[in-house]
Chains A and B, each alone.
Chain A
């Protein structure tokens, strides 16, 4: 559909590549200086008793080839089954398999509501050394009605066919045993193939509710 409603003579703008049209600083004219921000929404998936949430390049508007950094925001993810660890894995075959070799580090801080335990430590049960399992993001989230986990996962340059693909993830969870857990995970998909899909799930049971939103950093 053409924008034929625009008054042809009302536009007084010098074209500038890749710029948008906005009002000038005097709000009395138009200019081609408008540039959107660099955090670009790509896709939101909403869980509803979902076994997995999958972002697959080329499907549903998902694009893992345009940007150098991608950000996944986990918001109020709630497990259907109590005491579940939230996990992710990448794919190099458009989601046919999620089993890329990962080497990662994990350290958590935790503190319980009873104020009887507080600690910071490396979590050797959660890291991977060339493992192909789903990467655990944190301790176990509870399934009480008000319990959930949140976090942010950064994935760098997934379309590179030269380098391994690094990720950094930080989550906050409300655990099944009433702990606050600050979980920090970092590592890399040890492949030079491009990562073209990402899958998120709990170790067991469904994602009862919550959203994961994908952004590209332009």
Chain B
């Protein structure tokens, strides 16, 4: 159906910067509309992957001053192995070299509850925080590797391109614990560097990310 039903003179919209053109609520004229401020940048899908890496300037990834805040959504990330060193989901930040070893100070606490009703508790877990350490930051521990188990969560990274301030990050995620229960994990802290963070990598402590998706979004502020 042609839009020729519209009177030429009915295109009467006052331009507004950074807005889109849309039909009004009566569908008989035009108005301006806002797009979303949460912009999908990149989706990476694991398939027995040693890691999933988001590198600024590579494979359409943007991780610079284009956005002031970035969000990573980790969805159904499933470890290839359970037990030993293979059951921790973790993140590393790159601050200038090729290594994901930006120094971090962080906190880590979680609540747990078993499928059998046991163990309902919340506690700080000091074996998983960091004190100006360069290792990967654990986001989920003691993961179960049964076919139907996984970790899902959201990591927010603030202003990675700043060369003035440390770079804060906040994570909340939950996963199926190896002893059959839920673990709700809170991690927060900062990369204690003033160099820009230009890449972020997710991996298991050993083994692969067998399956799952991680999506990177930019949060626009204009």
Contacts and interface: CB of A to CB of B under 8 A. Distances in A.
Interface of A: 1-4, 6, 8-9, 11-21, 32, 34, 36-41, 44, 73, 75-76, 78, 109-115, 118-120, 145-152, 170, 172-174, 178-182, 184, 211, 213, 215
Interface residues of B, number: 64
A62 to B, nearest CB: 14
A182 B221 contact: no
A23 to B, nearest CB: 13
B46 interface: no
B18 to A, nearest CB: 9
Contacts of B220: 41
Given A39-B36, A41-B37, A73-B68, 18 more contacts: A2-B13, A3-B11, A8-B4, A8-B8, A9-B4, A15-B3, A18-B27, A20-B21, A20-B33, A34-B20, A41-B34, A75-B159, A119-B124, A146-B165, A146-B194, A172-B169, A172-B188, A172-B189
Contacts of A181: 107, 188
Interface in B80-135: 105-109, 122-124, 126, 129-132
Interface of B: 1-4, 6, 8-9, 11-15, 20-28, 30, 33-38, 68-69, 105-109, 122-124, 126, 129-132, 156, 158-159, 162, 164-166, 168-170, 186-190, 192, 194, 219-222
Contacts of B159: 75-76, 150
30 contacts: A1-B15, A2-B11, A3-B15, A3-B21, A4-B11, A11-B2, A12-B3, A14-B1, A17-B26, A18-B25, A20-B21, A21-B23, A34-B20, A44-B222, A73-B219, A73-B221, A75-B68, A78-B165, A109-B107, A113-B105, A115-B131, A118-B107, A118-B129, A146-B164, A147-B166, A148-B165, A150-B168, A152-B156, A152-B170, A181-B107
